[in-house]
A = this chain, B = another copy of it.
């Protein structure tokens, strides 16, 4: 179990005013480390007079770090090396802290919803993400003219507060068909495939091998061996007035174009095209297909072995017992 305090060694990009646009943390040291990084934490700690410090003198670092840093290239007028310490898990105070916590999630040091990310949207600057790195939006027009005058290609891929995951971290054992669809801060477990129509927000992801062809909203986690079908929606807590945190258990199948506004248990199926909201009223059936009455969908939160369908003749949403366990074997996860 990882815990604070910790220190990240980071490469920061800045705008012309010296303000931080983003931070890349290739190395993080924990005070209470199982693998012996505790020494590194102490060494770095001695260099810090406040929680974020620029490293101007590489000789203060240990040899192993120096060679690592030299491989990162020389910081230039738009970048600098820093150490960033987070002593306890308080709300975010700086861009560097925000990026360090996004790294903690994507390195899988902490699971989604276990870190204090308060203030994230206020702290993070909106940035132009280009093939020439992050650029301050106040400087983008100048850069565009420069690149035209010098006949250099400048491509703005995104104008956003969050960058894409793989510009910082490439998780082992995953496929991401379109890397623009996964934000830094996503938590992707080994064996996960994110197809072209899939999307993973920050502070969200998969707890095991999973097939993601739909959208994982911020705060949502998907259990292992589950399949989020093409265009399937998981309701976020950021917009739409939804207050309950959505999750999907293990061995679940969300059909294509379906949607989910309640936390789903294990071994559940939501039929293709059906959107279950918290307010949906659902007729519940037992194993013998005897009706047990109508209840609110929220009462079925986290219940296992359910099959949600809309009766194609009565139009009513029903929850039946899912008799066949979902077959999500290796073949499925290999194939797509």
Task: Please list the residues of chain A having a beta carbon within 8 angstroms of any beta carbon in chain B.
Answer: 70-73, 76, 120-122, 126, 128, 131-133, 137, 140-141, 144-145, 148-151, 153, 155-162, 166-167, 170, 174-181, 196-197, 199, 211, 215, 217-218, 227, 229-231, 233, 235-236, 238-241, 253, 255-257, 259, 261, 271-275, 277, 279-283, 294, 310-317, 326-327, 332, 334-336
Contact = CB atoms under 8 A, between A and B. Distances in A.
A185 to B, nearest CB: 13
B149 A176 contact: no
Given A196-B181, A239-B211, A273 B272 contact: no
Given A76-B151, A229-B239, A240-B255, 9 more contacts: A141-B170, A144-B170, A155-B167, A159-B179, A160-B176, A227-B239, A235-B256, A255-B277, A273-B277
B131 A160 contact: no
B230 A215 contact: yes
A153 B153 CA distance: 11
Closest 7 CB pairs of A and B: A315-B315, A273-B275, A233-B256, A73-B149, A280-B312, A121-B334, A156-B166
Given A261-B272, A272-B259, A315-B314, A170 B241 contact: no
Most central of A73, A128, A281 by chain B CB within 10 Å: A73
B272 A233 contact: yes
Nearest to A182: B196
A48 to B, nearest CB: 24
A309 to B, nearest CB: 8
B230 A230 contact: no
Contacts of A153: 131-133
A282 B76 CA distance: 63
